[in-house]
Amino acid sequence: MAEPHGDSTSEETQEPASNPPREETPRRRYRHHRRRHRHQGHEHSFAGCFPRLLLRRHEDLTLSRAARSLLDSYVRELLERIAQEASCLLRERNRSVLTHVEIQDAIQRLLSGELRLVSVFQGSNALLNYHRHN
């Protein structure tokens, strides 16, 4: 007792209509890379410090974005090298706590000339100011 193939309006015999393929809407691109990057984790940048330091000495000079980026990567690399050297000093001295002495010795090993003297002097002054205010 088969039913004839006619115009059957029964929902049971009709197959559900497949959805037509969606047209992909172009995704909006972010105008500012920083907005998208914020959600991936906050990464500290020193690039904001350089223009302020430059203004102290030379009010008429500015830094380009490429120059700020270059200086930022240089400072990051230098700090990373100081940390590696200080950790090597800790292992050599069989200590487990990093103090200002190891950092000062690491700076003296890495830097040379006047830069070494100025950085040790500035670091010592910063440490003294910290202890004065705390």
Token pair 């890495």 in the structure block, residue:
110
The one-digit pLDDT tens for each residue of the chain (134 residues) are: 555 555 555 555 565 566 666 666 666 665 555 555 555 666 788 888 999 999 999 999 999 999 999 999 999 999 999 999 999 999 999 999 999 999 999 999 999 999 999 999 999 999 999 999 98
Alpha helices (H) in 93-112, listed in sequence order: 100-110
What's the pTM?
0.63
Token pair 């200590």 in the structure block, residue:
95
Nearest Cα to 65, choosing from 55, 73, 53, 76? 73
The DSSP code sequence of 76-127 is HHHHHHHHHHHHHHHHHTT--S--HHHHHHHHHHH--HHHHHHHHHHHHHHH
